[in-house]
Structure 1
Amino acid sequence: MWKLLKFCIIAAIILALAWWVAALPGSVTADAGAYRIITPAPVALLLLLAVVGLLIVFLRVLGGLRRAPGQFAGWRSGRRQHAGELALQRGLVAVAAGDAAGARSAAAKARTLLGETAFVQWLSAEAARLSGEGEQTRLAFEKLTQSKEMKFLGHQGLLQESLKGGRVDEAARQAEAAEAAYPGSAWTRGQRLALAVREQHYAAALRLTQEPHERAALAVAAAQMAETPKLALNFAKQAVKAEPASPVALAALARALHGMGKERAARKTLLHGWKIAPHRLLAAAWLAPDATPLERAQAAAQLSAAKPGHMESELLLGETALAAKLTGEARRHAGAALKAGNTDGRAEAILAALEGKPAPAIAPGWRCTACRAQAAEWACACPSCGKLGTLIPAHPDSALMTTENG
C-alpha cells in the first residue's frame, strides 16, 4: 500500500513538472553567423538538459579512462594476492601432511606472489625443517622473530630446533623469549616445565604447574634433592598438600621430619599414611635400618596395627618375621597376604624362602596411568613416556590409589 502511494506521489510530481515546462511562455532565439534558430522555451530547456547530461557522461568516461591503468593494476594485484593465498593454503596442508617438497614449492610460489611476508617466512622455515635443513631452518625462524605479530612462532621454532640438537641452554632462552612474545601460552609453559624436569630443576618446575599429581611428584623430587633439611620439609609438605593420600608424598614427609629431628611427628605421619594408604615405602621409612631383625619385627607389628588384615600389613609382618627367623609367623602372614589378594610375588617369595626354593620374580611395583608401562622404582616422571606424576602403585590392593590421570 505504501509503495503504491509513493509511486503515485512521484508520478504526480513528474507530471506537474512536465506540465509546468510545457506551459512556459515565450521562445528562445540563437544567432550563429547567418543562421538564426528560434525555438519555444520548453524545447530549449529540454535541449539544455540534454547537453548537460551529455557533458556529465563525457566527463565520467574521461575520468574512467584516467583511472583505468590503476584499476587494471589493482585487478592484477588482487589476482596475485588470491593466488598467493592459495599457495599459502597449499603450503599449510603440505606442512600438516609432512610433505617437504610440497611445502617448499608452495613457499617459493607464495614468496614470488606475496613477497617476504611473515607468513611466507614461517612457511619457508617449516619447509626447511621438513627437508632436514637445520641451518636454513634456524635462519628462517630467526628472521621470523623480527616480526611483531609472528615472533612467537619464530621463538617456538628455534626452541624445537634447540631441543632437537640437544642445546638445552639455548632452548631455555628461546622458551623465555616465547613467553615474553605470548605471555600465558600453555604450550610454552609445558616446554619450560619439561626443560626444568629434564635438568632436574624441580623447584623451578613447581612454579610452572597447578596439576595436583604433577605438583606432588615434583615436590617429592625437590625434597629428595633439597640442600637443607628445612627445604626438604617445605617441599614434602607441598607434596602432601597436593596429594594427601599419596604414599610417596607421605613417605617423603616422614623422611623430612626425621631429618629435622622430629621423630614423633615422623612416626605420626607414617601411622596416618598406613591407615589411609599402606605401602612398602611407608614400611621402609618406619623400620630403623640399624635395628635387629627381632626389633624390626616388633616395629612392624606396631605399624601394621594401624591397618590390621590389609595385604601390605600381612606382607610386612611376614617379611620381618622371616628375617627374624620366626618361621611360623612368616608362613602364617604370607598365607594371609595371599588370601588378601597379593599377586605380585612377594608372598610367594616368603613361602619359597621358608621351603628353600628359588624365589619367584617380583612384579614391578609401579604403573604409569598414561602409557600403562610398569616400573620397578618410583620416579617423578614415567621412564617410558616422560609424563609427570603418573606412576602409581601397580597393584590396586597394595595401597589406596589416587585418581588416575591419562
Structure 2
Amino acid sequence: MLRAARFIVIAVILLGIAWWISTLPGSVTAHSGSYTVTASTPVALLILAVIALLLTIMFRVIGGIRRAPGGLSAWQGGRRKNLGEIAINRGLTALAAGDAKGAEAEAGRARKLLGETPLVLLLTAEAARLNGKHDQADAAFKKLTTHKDMAFLGHRGLGHHAAATGDHDAARKHALAAEDAYPGSSWARAERLAAALKQQDWRSALGLTQAPAEVAAIATAAANSTQDRSNALRYAKQAVKADPSLVPATVAYARSLSLAGKARAAKKALLNGWTATPHPMIAAAYLENIPDPIERVQAASQLAAAKPGHPESEILLAETSLAAKLTGEARRHAQAATAAGLTDKRPYAVLTALGDAPVDAPAPKWTCQSCHAEHTGWHATCPNCGKAGSLVWKSASTALVPA
C-alpha cells in the first residue's frame, strides 16, 4: 500500500514537472556555421536531457572498459584462492587418511595456486614426511620457521625428525626454539626433557619436570654420576624428598652420606629405607663393607629387625646364612620367605643349594610402567622407551613397587 502511494506521488510530481515544462514560452535557437536550429523551450530542454543521459552512459561504459582488466584479474585471483583452499582441504584430508600420494599431489596443486603460504608449506612438509622424503620435509619446515605465526610448527617438525634420527643436539635446539615461538608449550618442554635425558644431562632435565617420580629418578642419576660429593648429596636429598619410597634414591643418599663421613646417618637412612620398602639394593648397600660371612649374618639380622617377617627380610637372612654355612638357619629362613609369599627363584635357589630339587621360578625384575619392558637392573630412564622414573621392582610375591 505504501509502495503504491509512493509511486502515485512520484508520478504526479513528474507529470507536474512535465506539464510545467511544456507550458514554458519562448524558443531556443542554435547557430553552427550556416546551420540554424530553432526549437521551442520544452523541446530544447528535452534534447539537453537526452544528451546528458547519453554522455552519462558513455562515461560509464568507458569506465567499465578501463576497469575490466583489474576486475578480471581480481576474479581470477579469487578463483585461484578458492581452488587453492580446496586443494589444502583435500591435502589435509589425505594426510589424515594416510594417503601419502594424494597428500603430495594436493600439496603441489596448492603450491601452484597459492604459492608458498604458511599453510601450503605445512601441507607440503607433512606430505613429504609421509612419503619418506625427509629432505623435502625439512626444507619446507625450515621455510615455515621464517613465518612468525607458524614458526612453532616449523621447529616442531624439524625437532621430530632430528629426534627420530638420533640428532639429540638438533632436537634440543629446535625444541628450545619452539618454546620461544610459543611460550608455555607442553610439547616443547617434553621434547627438551627427552633430549636432555638422551644426553644424560641430568641437571638440565631436573629443570624441565616437576613430576615426583621423574624428579626422584633423575636426581638419583645425577647423584650417582657427579664426582662432586656435595652435589651428590644435594641431588640425593632432592631425590628422597621427591619420592621417599624410591629405593635407588635411598641407596644414593646413604652412599653420599657415607662419602661425606656421616656413616651413622648413612646407616640410619638405609634402616629407614628398609622399614619403608625392603629391597635387595638396600640390603646390598647395608652389607657392602662387611666381608666376613658371620658378620654379614649379624648385620643382616639388624636390618631384618627393621621389618621382621617380611619376605625380603627372610630371604636376606636365608642368603647370608647360606654364605656363612649356617645351613639350618638358611633353610628355615628360605622356607619362611616362601611361607610369607615370596615365590620368585631366590628362596628356591637357597633350598636347591641345600639339596632340594630345583624349582623353576621367575627371577625378580625391573619393569617399565610405560612400555612394560623388563630389565635386570635399575635405570633412571627405561632403556626401551626412554621414560624417566618408570621402572618398578617386580618380584613374584609383590605388586609393582616403585624403583
CA distance in 2, matches of 1:12, 1:116: 57
Q: Superposed, which structure 2 residues align to 1:4-403 within 5 Å?
A: 27-29=23-25, 31-32=27-28, 33-36=37-40, 66-355=66-355, 360=360, 362-395=362-395, 397-398=397-398, 401-402=401-402
Q: 1:12 to 1:121 in 2, by over 3 A?
A: closer
CA distance in 1, matches of 2:186, 2:137: 24
Q: Percent identity, aligned pairs only?
A: 48
Give the AA of the match of 1:28.
L
Deviation (angstroms), 1:225: 0.2
**Kept in 2: contact 1:365–1:395 (CA 8 A):** yes
Unaligned 5+ residue runs, structure 2?
29-36
Deviation (angstroms), 1:150: 2.3
Deviation (angstroms), 1:219: 0.8
**CA-based RMSD:** 3.4
Deviation (angstroms), 1:358: 5.1
Q: Show CA shifts across 1:24-55 (max 9, x none).
A: 9894346245432569xxxx9x9999999999
Deviation (angstroms), 1:62: 6.5
Q: 1:30 to 1:285 in 2, by over 3 A?
A: farther
**Kept in 2: contact 1:370–1:387 (CA 8 A):** yes
TM-score, normalized by length of structure 2? 0.84
Q: Show CA shifts across 1:302-351 (max 9, x none).
A: 11111111111111111111112222221111111112111222111111
Give the AA of the match of 2:180.
A
CA distance in 2, matches of 1:56, 1:34: 25
Q: 1:25 to 1:273 in 2, by over 3 A?
A: same
**Kept in 2: contact 1:277–1:400 (CA 8 A):** no
Deviation (angstroms), 1:395: 3.3
Q: 1:275 to 1:14 in 2, by over 3 A?
A: farther
CA distance in 2, matches of 1:268, 1:398: 25
TM-score, normalized by length of structure 1? 0.83
Q: 1:229 to 1:318 in 2, by over 3 A?
A: same
Q: Secondary structure at the match of 1:35?
A: strand
CA distance in 1, matches of 2:213, 2:57: 79
